[in-house]
Amino acid sequence: MLASLRNRSYKQALLSRLVGSNPEVCLPAGGSTELRFGEALFVVMGRLAKLDGRVTKAEIAFADTMMQRLGYCSSRREHAIACFDLGKNLQTNLLHFLIPLATIIGTRSGLAEQFLRIQCQLVQIKGVINPPEKIVLREVAEILGFDKSELLEICAALRPPEPSRMRPTTSYLREAYGVLQLEPDVGDSEIRKAYLKLMSRYHPDKLRRGNQSADAVRQAQEQTLAVRAAYEAVCGFRKIRA
């Protein structure tokens, strides 16, 4: 009970960001809640992304947009990437992260539901949810207090209509514009300009020439992948050549 009451203001602000009711709200210091939520979020995302043997650019871009939504600075981003990589290791025990998370945010809470929604969004990026991914989602849902039928309802609500199944979902497309630092109504000509500008800014070779740390170079590599995935998603949606 006491654990679920900790960092209440942070939990309320974080929930406002994740549900979109107040995406720009300032996040106060979150203490153990911020740490536990972020670690569990990206460890599970890493596991789900890697289960089919390959992590796609779109999945990396999605993880990057989540870091932006959580307001992560460089050090927080590095830790999130490390957690994502840890989750990709099949020897990592997800329960080590999920059980403390459930204790601190509460089962069946608003944050618990948003955590589960984020994971469901990730697995739907590739278009098909494979059996190993379903098993992990079931485990996550159960620990957070949701049964199989509730998990299926969440997945169904996030699934795009059949005719547009192969196109980016509205939420993912909006996040792709965010990665490119563009508004959705921008002209086609501005998309490639923004893409080239960001690729130039984050190009790892530029950092290597500047003798930046290995962590800085790795972060730049992750960012370039996210920018490229976002660019391809927007160009695909607009039917312009990437």
Residue 197 has pLDDT above 50, yes or no: yes
Q: Residue 158: its pLDDT value, please?
A: 76
In this structure, the answer to whether residues 176 and 228 fall within a common structural domain is: yes
**Number of domains observed in the structure of the chain:** 2
Confirm whether 11 is domain-assigned. yes
Task: Based on the fold, state whether residues 143 and 232 are members of the same structural domain.
Answer: no
Q: Is residue 82 part of a domain?
A: yes
In a domain, 7, yes or no: yes
148 and 199 both lie in a single domain: no
88, 49 in Cβ contact below 8 A?
A: yes
What's the pLDDT score for residue 161?
47
Angle at 43 between CA 42 and CA 44, to 5 degrees: 90
Lowest mean pLDDT among 67-81, 93-107, 139-153, 212-226: 212-226
- Please tell me whether residues 155 and 176 are part of one structural domain: no
Q: Are 36 and 95 in a shared domain? A: yes
Does one domain contain both 27 and 79?
A: yes
Q: Which has the higher per-residue pLDDT, 41 or 226?
A: 41
Confirm whether 164 is domain-assigned. Answer: no
Query: What phi, psi does 128 have (nearest 5°)?
Result: -130, 135
Tell me, yes or no, whether 196 lies in a domain. yes
Which residue segment(s) compose the domain that 186 sits in? 170-238
pTM above 0.85, yes or no: no
Residues of the chain with pLDDT > 90, as a percent, come to 46
- Same domain as 148, residue 116: yes
Q: What is the pLDDT of residue 176?
A: 85
Element (H, E) at 137: helix 131-143
- What is the reported pLDDT for 166? 42
Q: Are 130 and 217 in the same domain?
A: no
pLDDT at 160 (0 to 100): 56
118 plus 140 within the same structural domain: yes
Give residue-wise pLDDT tens across range 86-101.
999 999 999 999 999 9
Residue 130 included in any domain: yes
Tell me the HSE value of 175 on the side-chain side, using a 13 A CA sphere.
25
Nearest residue to 66 via CA among 94, 95, 43, 32: 43
Residue-level pLDDT at 228: 79
b/e per residue 124-151 (b: at least 16 CB within 10 A): bbeeeeeeebbebbeebbebbebeeeeb
Shared domain for 91 and 6, answered yes or no, is yes
Structural domain includes residue 229: yes
What is the number of alpha carbons within 13 Å of residue 229 lying toward its C-beta? 27
Do 126 and 35 share a structural domain?
Answer: yes
* Same-domain check for residues 68 and 33: yes
Looking at 159, 186, 207, the residue that finishes a domain is 159
Tell whether 147 is covered by a domain. yes
Amino acid at 28: P
For residue 208, the domain's CATH number is 1.10.287
180, 201 contact by CB (below 8 A)? no
Whole-angstrom Cα Rg for the chain:
18
Distance CA 216, CA 218 (A): 5
Kindly provide the b/e burial profile for residues 169-183, where b requires at least 16 CB atoms within 10 angstroms of the residue's own CB: beebbebbbbbbebe
Name the residue among 145, 162, 163 with its Cα closest to residue 154: 145
Q: Residue 110: count other Cβ atoms within 10 Å of its Cβ.
A: 16
